[in-house]
Structure 1
């Protein structure tokens, strides 16, 4: 991670499997798929950390844009997990020729489901009535599901690596992952959750290993970072990364001692 990563706690970021390979080692399909999944999960973790660290320090005039920013975390994660359960995981099991191999990951979703839904309900309530917002309550809600979520996001990377034991049956795994990612991306609001994801991806992470990720068409990246950004520009001041994908030196609403 970068030395000035202002959103690397309280929930830990995930080292990508590719970054852990010995120098000169060529990553295989499982390393690549698991590493790209880790990048997605790090978006989620970095975003949740930024919400957690700023929740109790938001100025009254900024409550509504902060809640807009916080709502995107739920929107992106919901699409991600629904896509896994309904599309990606069943296709992985079909490819491997063995049912139930992804059940553990689905069960992990259940471990933080209720807390996540409480989070969403509270965000929506406060968006309708910003005067009711209590940063301490939001932090307590995140505390109720954050540890289980972070544990799941890390464990899923190991699950993907372990698919290597199915050998040639998994030859189309990268193609499957690419199709699933494209389908999920199309379900995200471009000025909302999709932009949120870009502003929670640190292009300098792991020495710039992921500076060209995600593998989206250049025009789309340009539009998201510099055009749709302006639709909710007051939201993205709470993001840890700037429009170029560089980590900010500090979070907008976090006190000095937490930076």
Structure 2
């Protein structure tokens, strides 16, 4: 999967800004998918339990993101625009990959033992929803950005509240525009990474970025020649 590239724009309306924030969050999800896909066939026996934990954390993040959109974001935006059909395509996109995403979770949670984990089987499941999944995580950005042209869209500077989207991501993407995203005090960010991040720290070795949000070599591929 490829990252979504957010074209630099001087627009400051809530939907253009929201689309940019959503692109950053979606890129976190895409990089998570890629890190699982690339490493799954190369997981050693001693690392299987940790990789399962890492993969399930990714699933929970994606599912939580989906549920939050369906339960909160979509309704609030529809109310602002007075248009119940504004998310119709997005709803269809969600449905197109939920079955495969659910199978991903079912497979990992039903393993009797970490030793039963098969990277090939996990990739088979991921391949079953890869195309609609990637399509959605790019398409939704355009859907949100296009709302700026809706007849009832609030103009830049409007007091109407917008939903802020936060997720850690690597600093080098579109730097310096989003280098310090998500916005939060540095002490809190440090605590999230270095204190909260110490929980299940053995899982995070499979991530695509280090604690400083810089891209790093994937753990399971250090001694492997990647072919796909």
Same fold (TM over 0.5): yes
2:145 equivalent to 1:155: no
Q: Write the distance in 2 (CA, Å) between the matches of 1:90 and 1:225.
A: 32
Give the one of 137, 156, 160 matched to 2:121.
Answer: 137
Alignment of 1:49-60 (within 5 A): 49-60=34-45
Offset at residue 175 of structure 1 (A):
2.4
Give the one of 3, 7, 23 matched to 1:13.
Answer: 3
Offset at residue 86 of structure 1 (A):
1.1
Q: 1:238 to 1:98 in 2, by over 3 A?
A: same
Moved over 4 A (4+): 171-174
- SS of the residue corresponding to residue 181 of structure 2 reads coil
Q: 1:231 to 1:111 in 2, by over 3 A?
A: same
2:224 equivalent to 1:234: no
Query: Could you say which residue in structure 2 is the equivalent of 1:192?
Result: none
User: Aligned pairs, how many?
Assistant: 224
Give the one of 218, 231, 239 matched to 2:186.
Answer: 218
Offset at residue 168 of structure 1 (A):
5.4
Give the one of 80, 84, 90 matched to 1:105.
Answer: 90
Q: Write the distance in 2 (CA, Å) between the matches of 1:91 and 1:46.
A: 28
Q: Is the 8 A contact 1:29 1:173 kept in 2?
A: no
2:107 equivalent to 1:88: no
Q: Write the distance in 2 (CA, Å) between the matches of 1:145 and 1:216.
A: 34
Query: Could you say which residue in structure 2 is the equivalent of 1:194?
Result: none
Higher percent of residues as helix: 1
Q: Is the 8 A contact 1:33 1:174 kept in 2?
A: no
Alignment of 1:147-226 (within 5 A): 147-167=131-151, 169-171=153-155, 175-178=161-164, 181=165, 198=168, 201-226=169-194
Offset at residue 205 of structure 1 (A):
0.9
Offset at residue 216 of structure 1 (A):
2.7
Q: Which runs of no fewer than 5 residues in structure 1 stay unpaired?
A: 1-10, 186-196
Query: TM-score, normalization: structure 1?
Result: 0.81
Q: Write the distance in 1 (CA, Å) between the matches of 2:97 and 2:118.
A: 21
Q: Is the 8 A contact 1:47 1:73 kept in 2?
A: yes
Q: 1:44 to 1:115 in 2, by over 3 A?
A: same
Q: 1:174 to 1:244 in 2, by over 3 A?
A: farther
Q: Is the 8 A contact 1:53 1:258 kept in 2?
A: no
Query: Could you say which residue in structure 2 is the equivalent of 1:253?
Result: 220
RMSD, aligned CA: 2.0
Q: Write the distance in 1 (CA, Å) between the matches of 2:37 and 2:199.
A: 24
Q: 1:35 to 1:258 in 2, by over 3 A?
A: farther
Q: Describe the superposition over 1:189-230 as per-residue Cα deviations: whole angstroms up to 9, x where unpaired.
A: xxxxxxxx53xx111112343221112333321112111221
Q: Write the distance in 2 (CA, Å) between the matches of 1:98 and 1:30.
A: 15
Q: Is the 8 A contact 2:16 2:148 kept in 1?
A: no
